[in-house]
Amino acid sequence: MPVEVRLPNILRPVVSGEASVRAEGTTVRDVFDDLVRRYPGLAPSLLTPEGEMHRHLNVFVNDDDVRYLGKLEAKVGDDDTVTLMPAVAGG
């Protein structure tokens, strides 16, 4: 199932400057696997070495935070939008 993945500015150089790309999958994990297969440079920003979602990355399916939908096992469907946003912290 193709979904649109929206990327923050910091990750766009890895995907030739595109603001969004299409990816296949029925879960966020599948989408990440497809992205990493096509754009290996995204791996360190998406997943930890243990294969978990990077804690400094906020991920939304449509407008819903995947932390409340099952994280990497959150379901995605045709024409859903997955938005990747780096966590922002500071003081």
Task: Give strand pairing partners of 57.
Answer: 86
Q: Which residue has the tokens 């990355």?
A: 57
On the CB side of 85, how many CA atoms lie within 13 Å of its CA?
15
What pTM did the predictor assign?
Answer: 0.92
CB contact at 8 A, 28 and 59: yes
Per-residue pLDDT of 10-43, as tens digits, reads 999 999 999 999 999 999 999 999 999 999 999 9
pLDDT number for residue 90: 64
Class of domain 2-86: alpha beta
Per-residue pLDDT of 46-85, as tens digits, reads 999 999 998 889 999 999 999 999 999 999 998 899 999 9
d(CA 2, CA 79): 6
